[in-house]
Structure formats: structure tokens, C-alpha cells
Structure 1
Amino acid sequence: MDLRKYIPRNFKNKLHRIILGYTGFNPCFSQGGEDMILRTIFKGVDKGFFIDVGAYHPTIGSNTYFLYRTQGWRGINIDPNTENIDLFNKKRPEDTNINIAIGKNEGSIFYYQQESPSMNFCSKEEQPLDSYKSRKSVIISPLSAILKPFCKKTIDLMTIDVEGYEFDVLTSNDWNLYRPKVIVIEQSIQDICHGTCINYLKNMGYHIFSFSTLGIHHGAIMCNLFFADLKEFPFVSQLPELETNLYNSKYITKTPLH
């Protein structure tokens, strides 16, 4: 006798959540389905290695937790918020979790906490906003300096979400030593129009192959761009340039790839 049909669906979902960490119908943890795109890209790649800059939370909105949980991936999580890193140490103890901000030079920078923790950010200015929850000074260091003692493997994935400081993170890396196969980077539509990060990564030998939409934050349309290293995925260069479509905000809000 098959008893499964008598089990309520919400009970099965709860059981999936307890055992696997996700429901059978929606295994996505990231904000805009990025981990499902990454699941497709890295299908069959077990025990991969990632770098997550601006990691924020070990599970909520994480681009890497699905790979950590289901495919045995491990990596380095970097975040300037001490409370966030404490959570990573509890929830993801097999990762290397580092409490620091990333920038071009060694020193310190102001870290601003807001009512919505996902919108916390760093700034060189003493008061960039009229109101904020709290402010403190945190240590800042180039990405290459942080990776040197910890990164001994080939980097499969690097994901960057640092609320406007993405270019500083990119330019603080040593691309000869630490070259991810795939990069996911958060950008506003204004950032995309300026093309600063896009052009930099193109010059580094990367090509955009996908994107996901995140909605509107503080009046700006946000998305995540996916870049592939052409040395690892040369066929990606044959794909059409996505920037043409990304420049049209109406298109980006109506055509999510996830």
C-alpha cells in the first residue's frame, strides 16, 4: 500500500527543508535564482571551490549555499560584518570565513548598517546617508592579500556583491594568481551603462553569458551578471553580447533568465 498520497504536501515540503535544506519544489537559496544557473553550469562538478565577497548570510540570498549543501563545494566567505561571519562559522564551519572589507589598499573604511541588513555597505565618507542604524570603522585589504594564505586551489566561482564597490574588488585582485572560471557580480543598470566593471572583465579575458534580475533597490534596477573565463569556456565568445539587451531597463525587468 502506497501511503505517500496520504501525506500532506506541506508536510513533505517541511521534511525536505529539514533533511535537505530546501523544498522539493524550490531548491533556490539565492536572491534571483543565481544558484540555479550555477547548478546548470557546474552540473556534475563536485567539491568545487568558490570565493564569495560580500557573502552576507550563510543561507539566505546565498549564491553558494546550494553548491555547498548538495555538491560538496567549499570556499572562502568574506564579509565586513562580524555578526555575519559568526553565522558562517556556525552554519558553514567547513568554509574559511573572514571578517574584513575588500578594497584597493590596506587601511580602514566606514561600515554602515541599515534596517535591512542586506543593504549594509562600506563608504569612505563619514555620512553618505541622512539616516542609518549604526556606523563603525572596519579593516580593509586588497583581495589578493586576503587570498594569498588561504587560496591554494583552482577557483571555480567568484561571486561579488559589495553595494557599489565591485570595481575596487576586481582591481584589488591578482588575476595571474587567482583567476575564477566563472564570476557573478551584482550591478545596477547605471553601472552597466557606464560599463566600468564589464569593460575591465572583458580586458581580463571574460565574457558575459547570462544575467538574473533582482528588482529595484533605492530607485535603481539591479541584476547579477555572469562572466565566463574564455580560457576555460572559449565557446562562450560565440554568444551574442548581452549588454545590448541589458541597456534597456524595460527588457531587463521583463526577461529574467532564471
Structure 2
Amino acid sequence: MVRNRVVNLWEKKYGKLTYAQCGEDVIMKYLFKNYLKKEKPSYLDIGAHHPTYLSNTFLFYKEKCYGVCVEPDPCLYTYIAKKRPRDIVLNVGVGLMDNVRSNFYVMKTKTLNTFSKEEAERYQNHENQKIERIIELPLLSVNTIINRHFKECPDLISLDVEGLDYDILTSIDFVKYRPNVICVETITYSENSTQRKLTEISEYLIKNDYWIYADTFINTIFVDQKIMSKGNAGY
């Protein structure tokens, strides 16, 4: 109770400490400022969901960084565009290739919206969820989004797409586009609600010369080892 009062007093005077689920935005801000020497990192937020709630990028938006948010849900897209007018907000899905369309499953709990039919059905059958509607949306690849909306590769990619994170990561051209930092959800839940870390994501990024800088159990933050000496990296 005392802790909550202190936090509330601090937020009234200085603003929220973090908007992300487990403080990922504060961790990344520290990383960019103290190690990567970037005061205003650009960002690509894939699966933005909400302008502020559980947002890995709103803290950077507040500091007037350049950003692009991708949100397939039309209602959430409209709300994000209204609340974050400086951002470029795209009402599309992210896929492995361009010029295709795919079904987007809008769930009762909007944080679980997904393009994965298997994930949507699993949520509905085992997580007390409901598929409220299915929308057909165009898909763009990460490479196309970066090419169209960034002069250079974004400094940060935040990725949370419910079941398709690994597929999207493997579609990125890491020879051409190397974000300094990648924040991606690396936890999933089985049908009996058992938690499991998605080790294949970490293995793939490590193979592509990224290090694990921090892990909040829900999300893992990776940093490009080519721009940060190993002596500076924390685990």
C-alpha cells in the first residue's frame, strides 16, 4: 500500500514510470541512452494494440521520437491514430510477403487478437475466450514497411503478434535491416495454461548476431552485438 502511494505521488509529479507490461520501455530507454548513445531512437511497433496501455513505445513517443505503429484491429487503429498523431499508424497486418490478404481474428480480450487461426481457436477452446469477428486485411512484410516509412532501419522493433512472432522475425532481411534493439514476446501458454518460453526465437536471433540484453520472462530484449561490445551487455 505504501509503495502504491509513493508510485502514485511520483506519477502525479513526474508522469508514469513505465507504460509497458514489465518495464521493458524503461529498460530499453536506459540501453539506448547509456550504451547506444541515442536520445531519440526511432521505432516500429508491430501489434501496437493501444496508444499507452501495455505499450513498449509510448515512452519514446512522449519524447518525440519518430515511430510507426502497425495495428490490424480497425477500432484500435483509429484510437491509436487519434491519441498518437505524430506516429504513422498503419491498419494492416504484417506477413511474410506483400500483396496477399489474410483473416484477422478479433477476440473478446483484444490483447489476444491474432492472424493465426490455430491460436484463435486455442484461445476460444481453452482460455474462456470468444472469436467476436473475423476481418480480412491486407498484409505487408516488415521489409516493405521499413522501406516505405523509414529513411534508415528503425532503431527499435517491438513485436507482439500472438503466435506469429517467430515467422515474422525470420522474414526480416537482417543483412539489409538491422535494428539496434528488438523486443519480442517470448512466452506462450499451453492448453492447460502452463507457461513455456519460446526458445526458438532467442536461438534464431542469437544466430543472427543479437545478444539477450534483458528478459522480463514475458518479453525478451535483444541488442545487435555489432554495435555494442560484449563488455557492456547485461543479461
- Please give the TM-score of this superposition, normalised by the length of structure 2: 0.81
Which residue in the other structure is 1:59 paired with? Answer: 52
CA apart distance, 1:141: 2.4
**2:107–2:120 Cα contact (<8 Å) kept:** no
2:84 corresponds to which letter in structure 1?
R
Which residue in the other structure is 1:93 paired with? Answer: 85
CA apart distance, 1:182: 0.7
Which residue in the other structure is 1:83 paired with? Answer: 75
2:67 corresponds to which letter in structure 1?
G
2:177 corresponds to which letter in structure 1?
Y
Residues 135-189 of structure 1, C-alpha deviation per residue, up to 9 Å, x if partnerless? 1212122211222111113422111000110012112222222211011000115
Which sections of structure 1, spanning at least 5 residues, go unmatched? Answer: 1-7, 214-222, 243-258
**1:209–1:236 Cα contact (<8 Å) kept:** no
Residues 40-62 of structure 1, C-alpha deviation per residue, up to 9 Å, x if partnerless? 11236332201111111111110
- Confirm or deny that 1:171 pairs with 2:175: no
- Confirm or deny that 1:209 pairs with 2:208: no
Compared CA separation, residues 196 and 94, structure 1 to 2 (3 A): same
2:18 corresponds to which letter in structure 1?
C
Could you say what secondary structure the match of 2:216 adopts?
strand
Could you say what secondary structure the match of 1:68 adopts?
helix
Moved over 3 A (4+): 8-16, 124-127, 236-239
Q: Percent identity?
A: 28
The alignment covers a number of residue pairs equal to 214
Find the aligned partners of 2:120 and 2:47 in 1 and give their Cα distance.
Answer: 21
**1:49–1:153 Cα contact (<8 Å) kept:** no
CA apart distance, 1:105: 2.5
CA apart distance, 1:125: 5.6
Which residue in the other structure is 1:187 paired with? Answer: 186
Find the aligned partners of 1:121 and 1:110 in 2 and give their Cα distance.
Answer: 9
Residues 74-133 of structure 1, C-alpha deviation per residue, up to 9 Å, x if partnerless? 211112112222122211111111111112133122211122111111125697244422
- Please give the TM-score of this superposition, normalised by the length of structure 1: 0.74
Compared CA separation, residues 40 and 127, structure 1 to 2 (3 A): closer
- Confirm or deny that 1:230 pairs with 2:225: yes
Which residue in the other structure is 1:198 paired with? Answer: 202
Compared CA separation, residues 177 and 135, structure 1 to 2 (3 A): same
CA apart distance, 1:10: 10
